[in-house]
Structure formats: structure tokens, C-alpha cells
A and B are shown apart, each in its own frame.
Chain A
């Protein structure tokens, strides 16, 4: 099949190299993932600008390059040569570390995402647990970024972000638990393989789990309607107000890397990942990811923003009861299935 051709072609190129330099198997995935993220973030930013422009009945970047393709590149270059300002009374060490505490977990998530059959850096048998653990670390970075700028508005943004992310961790994990129950394993590859005929979103408990996961994911990556931490109309730029140049670029990249990661996880857990009726699997995975990224953007440019207490109320009084009930439903479905299979 087509996918076999790609793999054999790549295999033929890579094999002699690996033979000579065995450490390539450790370095190559890192380089590839970082490269993928860098390129993908540029593309996503361009995509966002075009999607938002067309939703708002305007054109978006058109000037640099045909249809503005080079625009993001130009913006990245601009950010890179801005002065690196650290305000006098700011907490220097925290300001330097915070962007990376946000960025590195965003990248670490990609270790367990299966891009295709066999295309995964490490198929951890606790893949889902690893995801939940790693995404929780970003809260520290956001909080310290908000504190370090010595700016009350940034602090407010950081505190709101911390409250929001912690609150929405729970429905996210509870949704993923349903998937683990349906698949019988926490390994991402086994979850995809368990969806071979029927993706989990088509089960009723899977559909509910997908919807709650999607909402929690929106809140985890702090996108509208949950973008209070960086509410432009209130806090200028929230917890990353005081950051300039490269450090701001890191925050920015982390946000889009997060969006992409969360879309990929949604595609993997609920829509069958790289499974598709025909053709190269990686393209199916990419298509599903792009679909979710588009829906994220669609929601962002349509809905107003929730206030922090309303946001938290949705999480604690809305999503968590629904998720718990959904787990109950999943238990019932699995018990029924076992009963039917046995009897």
C-alpha cells in the first residue's frame, strides 16, 4: 500500500545512518518533533489569521507573499529582533524561566501522540496518564509569568489562568477515563487500534466524553470563550503583558503548540487517530487535527468571553457532574457488552 511505500523509502534512507550512528534513534525524534512544531505553529498562525479574517468578512494578510503566506515569517523575524526588556522590579529569574516552563510541557506532550501506524516517539503504556501529568505543569509557568512581571494586571491574569486550568483539568481527565475504559488500555496506540471499526465518538458515552473533553481542552489552552487570563480587552495581554521579543514568541508558540496538541489528542482518543478507509494514514491524522483546529478557531471568533466565576461554575457545577454521570454510563455500556458477549 501507499503507506508501506513511504515507510520502505524512508527506511532505506535511514537504515545505513542508524547502523553507523545508533544514537540517531534518540536524537532524530526530538529534532523532528521540534521542527514539526516550529513549522506547524507558523502555519497555524497564518491559518488563524485567514480563518478569523474570512469569518469577519475581510481578507487577512495579503501583502507579504501571495495571499500573505510569508506574513507569519515576517512577524516571527520582527519578534526575534525586539529588545529583550526585563522591568526593573520584576523577578528576573522567574521571568526568564516562566516561558520555558510553559513551552516545554507543551512540547513534551508530542512524545506520546501517534501520527501514524508506528509513527510515535514512545508508545508508553501509560500514555494517557502521561498526557494528564504533563499538561498540568504549564500552570506553574503561567502563574510565575503573571507574578514575575511585577504588574498587577499580569498577576490577575496569572491567577485567573491558574484557577481556570486547575478547574478544567478534572473534566478533561474524567473524559479521558471514559476512553481508557472503552479501549481497555492507556497506551495511545492501543486506543487507536481499539477504534478500528468504530471510533469512540460514535458511542453515546464517547460522544458525551468528546464534548466535555473539547470544552475542557478549550479552557486548558485558554482560548475564547475561556481566554480570560489573556483577555485583550481587559488585561491588555494578561499574564504575558510584560514579555517582549523572543520570550513573548515562546509564550505564543506554546499556546499554538498546545492547541495543536489538544487537537491531535482529540483526534486520537475519539476519532480514531490515523485510521481511515483508504490512503496514507498520516494524512487522515493531519486532516482530523486540522478539522479540530479549525473548530477551535471558529468558536474563538464567534463567542463572547465568560467571566471567571461563570467559567468556574461551568466547570464545577456543569462539566464535572456530566463527566461523572458519563463514566457511570460507560460502566453500564461495558457491563452490557460483557453480558452480551458472555451470554
Chain B
């Protein structure tokens, strides 16, 4: 860890301080790497010279399992990809499978899909706010975010019986219908959450310490963001207005009015602020969906085993963290020949190696927290 000066360095010792470099391991178990991520940092004092990510600690062979267990066997696992925002992953898989087999989804099911996905997005962003506050040591924000999230999770539990990964989407529709009183309770919860967001702003967002920690920190230029294939709020914070719901609409998203929130500077604060605003936009979408939802079937019955004709299809949706995509190659049997997951967190994380240089160790925590990765999504 320490070394003595060489004769040349000793001769120049009065000129400039010789900073010794240290290799720090922010190991897979760490309070703030949001999962099992290993960061090896080469630091000089507190300043990071170089950073390398080691991933794979949560690799669970999604793609191989799909080949073994078939489309329908794999589908419940799709939730576990990005387990915090589980719905959109499954939606993307269902989209790809429906494209392969040419299955139409009933209208009520489309609305239910939107409601579930947007509720999930709100829950995920609340979790992000909570953990981001925790990373910056505003521990109370963690508890407040969780308190709000509990209400949303209860709604999702009413829909599907589960709190985190709910296996709600099916090929051809959704699994269960809205229970009695769901719409009223949903509107109530949205009102409560929207009334509490200003409190978050007072306590955390407009706090001088929080601003000092996040403004101007970890700026991602838009060209680098696009080069690395980033997506989601991380990309939009850098000023690139790409949202799959607008750019390549799926389902019935073209029927809803909502704003694609775009940031200006691409710093940590913008990435945080994107998600706070997206909660408001998702609430708008859910209200519109609840108003417009028609009665009807929630699922197209599949005839026999699900055996799509040979072909290829790509289905992608806007998850809470970015563009989740499933590329499926079918060979006519009930097991896919190849299922490839396009994971948003993987691309978002890849871009960060060069973004950490020059920042301090405390900033690593802030920047990594602001990208909002889930290692399940990175490692699959």
C-alpha cells in the first residue's frame, strides 16, 4: 500500500506532492452498490483515476433457461430480470411472443397492461428516491419513499396477489382482472402520492447539501450516452428525448397524453429529477387509463400448446430503467431457439466506467445511485 520514494522522486520531492495510488475494492457486498456489483477503483487520495466493473454475480442464465423450459415456462421468470420494475420485462417478452404468433390482445387487457406497468414504474421510482436518499445519508427519505411505495405495492397485490414480481402478463393478455374498488383505491393512492411529492422536494430535492452533492456531478454528455446505448431516465437526463412509449409506441400508448421528461445537464441531479417527474407523468397516464378502460376480455385464449411459427421477433418496452427488449428466434417448437434479452441496466452501467474518472469516492456512490441499476437486469 505504501512505498518509499525513488532517488529521482526524492530529488523532485520539493516540487510537487507524490500522491500514492491505492487500489480499492468496493466489493460485491457493499451497502451502496445496489446489488452484487464489484467495483475496483484505483484512487489517488480520494480522487478516482480508473474504475473497472466486475459483474456476473447475479447471472442466472435467463436465456438458457428459456431454451430449456419453453416460452410459457420462461415467462414467469421474465419478471425477475429487473425485479424492482417487473411488469415491463414480462410485457416485452409477451410482445415478442405475440408478434411471433400473430396474437391480438383484447382492448381491456391493453389498458390493464398499461395500468400495471405505470403503477410499477411509480413503485420503482419511489424505491429509487428512497435508496438515493439513503446513499446520500438522508435516511429519513428512505423510509418515506418506502411508505409511499407500500401503498402502490398494495394495489399491485390486489391486482395479482404478489408484491414484487407478479407474473401478471400473459401471452395474449393479462392474468387477472381488476378487483372491486380497485379504480377508486388507485385514484386515492395517486392523489396521496402526488400530494406528498412536494414534501420530498422540500426535504430532499431542494436541500442545499443534496444539491451540492449532485449538481454538476457525473455529467454524461449526450453523444457518449447514445454511444453506449443508454436509455431510460439516464439517457433523457442528458437531453436526448428518447422514450420507447413515444418513439416506438407499443400497446395503446398513443392514446395517452403524457410528457416525455428531458433534462438539461445530464448530471446526477437531473437523473434524480427525471424520475421524480416521471412519477407525476405515470400518474397522469394511469388516471387516463382508468377513465378510458372498456369492459371485455382480459386474455386471448391460446389454442393448444403455444407453438409459434418459425421466425424472429423483437419486442421492446420502456421499463423504469430504460429500453427492455426481447429478441426471440423461433424454430416452430414450443421452446425458443434463441431468446436474447436487451437489458437497459447493462448498457447504462457500461457507460459509467469512463464517467467516474476524476470524481471522488463519495461521488461514486451518488453517481452509481443515480443511474439506478438493478443487478438482476445487468447480469440476467
Interface residues of A (CB under 8 A from B): 52, 55-58, 152-153, 156, 224-225, 227-228, 231-234, 236, 301-310
Measured CB to CB, the nearest residue on chain A to B208 is: A303
- For the complex, give the distance between the alpha carbons of A234 and B138 in Å: 13
Q: Mark B6-39, 1 if CB is under 8 A from A, else 0.
A: 0000000000000000101000001110000000
Say whether B280 faces chain A, with CB atoms less than 8 Å apart: no
Q: B1–A152 contact, CB under 8 A? A: yes
- Closest partner residue, chain A, to B136 (CB atom): A304
Pick the residue among A227, A306, A307 that contacts B363 (CB under 8 A).
A307
Chain B proximity of A148: nearest CB distance (Å): 14
- Of B31, B46, B137, B140, the contact of A305 (CB 8 Å cutoff): B137
Task: Report B142-157 residues with CB < 8 Å from chain A CB.
Answer: 142-144, 147
Bitwise, B101-143 to A at CB < 8 A (1) or not (0) is 0000000000000000000000000000000011111111011
What's the nearest-Cβ distance from chain A to residue B372, in Å?
A: 15
Distance in Å: Cβ of B19 to nearest Cβ of chain A:
13
Residues of the B chain whose Cβ atoms lie less than 8 Å from the Cβ of A152: 1, 22, 24
A302 touches B138 (CB 8 A): yes
How many Å from the CB of B251 to the closest CB on chain A? 37
The residue on A at minimum CB distance from B1 is: A152
B306: interface (CB < 8 Å): no
In residues 336-380 of chain B, which contact A (Cβ within 8 Å)?
360-363, 365
B31 touches A303 (CB 8 A): no
Instruction: Provide the main secondary structure of the chain A interface.
Output: loop
A308 interface neighbour in B31, B32, B46, B135, Cβ under 8 Å: B46
Cβ–Cβ contact A304 & B204, under 8 A: yes
Q: What separation, in Å, do the CA atoms of A303 and B204 have in the docked complex?
A: 8
B212 touches A310 (CB 8 A): yes
In the complex, the answer to whether A55 meets B137 with C-beta atoms within 8 Å is no
Interchain pairs with CB closer than 8 A, number: 80
Q: Give chain B's interface residues, CB within 8 Å of chain A.
A: 1, 22, 24, 30-32, 46, 133-140, 142-144, 147, 203-204, 207, 209-210, 212-213, 360-363, 365
Residue of A nearest to B132 (CB): A304
Asked whether A234 and B362 contact (CB < 8 A) given A306-B212, A307-B213, A308-B46, the answer is yes
Q: When A307-B360, A309-B360 are in contact, do A232 and B213 touch as well, CB less than 8 Å? A: no
The reply to whether A306 and B213 contact each other, CB–CB distance below 8 Å, is yes
A224 pairs with B137, CB closer than 8 A: yes
A236 touching B209 in the complex, CB below 8 Å, given contacts A56-B139, A57-B143, A58-B143: no
Give Cα A227 to B144, complex, Å.
Answer: 22
Nearest CB in chain B to that of A56: its residue? B143
Give the residue name and chain of the A residue nearest to B142 (CB).
Answer: A56
Chain B residue with the shortest CB-CB distance to A301: B140
A304 to B136, CA, bound (A): 5
Q: Are A231 and B212 in contact (CB under 8 A)?
A: no
Contact A234 B32 (CB under 8 A): yes
Is B209 within 8 A of A306, CB to CB? yes
Pairwise interchain contact A304-B24, C-beta atoms closer than 8 A: no
Using A57-B144, A58-B143, A234-B32 as known contacts, say yes or no to A227 and B360 having CB atoms under 8 A apart. no
Q: Which of A156, A231, A233 has the most CB of B within 10 A?
A: A233
Q: Which of A227, A228, A233, A309 contacts B32 (CB 8 A)?
A: A233
Cα A304 to Cα B137 in complex, Å, equals 5
| Whole-angstrom CA separation of A57 from B149 in the bound complex | 14
Task: Please tell me if the beta carbons of A55 and B1 are within 8 angstroms of each other in the complex.
Answer: no
- Inter-subunit contact B31/A232 (CB<8 Å): yes
Residue of A nearest to B134 (CB): A233
Question: What distance in Å separates the Cβ of B170 from its nearest Cβ neighbour in chain A?
Answer: 37
A3 to B88, CA, bound (A): 70
Known pairs A225-B209, A304-B213, A305-B136; A234 contacts B361 (CB<8 A): yes
Contacts of A224 in B (CB 8 A): 137
Q: Are A304 and B207 in contact (CB under 8 A)?
A: yes
Q: How far is the CA of A234 from the CA of B31 in the complex (A)?
A: 7
Q: For A55, list chain B residues within 8 Å (CB).
A: 140
| B-chain residues with CB within 8 Å of residue A232 when the two chains form the complex | 31, 137
A302 near B140 (CB under 8 angstroms)?
yes
